[in-house]
Amino acid sequence: MLDTITFGLVAVSSVILVVAAMLALYRLAIGPTGLDRGVASDVVLAVMIAGIGAHAIATGTSVGLIVILVLSLVGFTTAVGLARLITGASARERRFLEAEARAAHEARQRVERERAEREGSVRERAERELAEQAGEHPGGEGSA
Which positions touch another protein (CB under 8 A)? 2-3, 5-7, 9-10, 12-14, 16-17, 19-24, 26-27, 32-40, 42-43, 46-47, 49-50, 53-54, 56-57, 60, 62, 64-66, 68-69, 72-73, 75-76, 79-80, 82-84, 86-87, 89-90, 93-94, 97-98, 101-102, 104-105
- Closer residue to another protein (CB): 74 or 131: 74
Q: How far is the CB of 92 from another protein (least distance, A)?
A: 12
- Closer residue to another protein (CB): 87 or 121: 87
- Closer residue to another protein (CB): 102 or 123: 102
Q: Which residues of 106-125 are buried (b: 16+ CB within 10 A; e: fewer)?
A: eeeeeeeeeeeeeeeeeeee
Q: How far is the CB of 111 from another protein (least distance, A)?
A: 15
The residues near 24 (Cβ < 8 Å, ≥ 6 apart) are: 40, 41, 43, 44, 47
| Residue whose C-alpha is closest to residue 82's, from 49, 46, 33 | 33
